[in-house]
Amino acid sequence: MIVSFGSVKGGVGKTACCMNIAYSISKKYKVLVVDFDSQGSATHHISAKVGRNLKASIGDVLSGKCSLEKATHHYGQKMYVVPVNYDFYESIDEDRSYT
């Protein structure tokens, strides 16, 4: 099952809802939270628990610098998070065309 939280409007509780629901579901099932937020709210939230030295992020995965497994950080018993790095939105503007 895939559940997505998204809205153009900021400050409506996307991260709070996502993290709370993910944590609740993770008591019974494995959960993977992938942070695509330019402000990195979920990443900021998890950095308090897993530390600020996050190995890799979703930007690294999408740019081919590392695997999804390397960018996945253990957060709780069955909860995992892929953080976003703050230069992620600069990297998605790069030209990825091949000639």
Q: Give the range of the structural domain holding residue 57, as residue numbers without chain letter.
A: 28-91
pLDDT for 74 equals 87
pLDDT for 4 equals 86
pLDDT for 27 equals 93
Instruction: Look up residue 12 and give its two tokens.
Output: 């409506």
Would you call 80 helix, strand, or coil by DSSP?
Answer: strand
Residue pLDDT, tens place only, 18-77 = 999 999 999 999 999 999 887 888 888 777 776 667 778 898 898 889 999 999 988 878
21 in a structural domain = no
Would you call 31 helix, strand, or coil by DSSP?
Answer: strand
78 in a structural domain = yes
pLDDT for 77 equals 83
What is the count of structural domains for the chain?
1
17 in a structural domain = no
18 in a structural domain = no
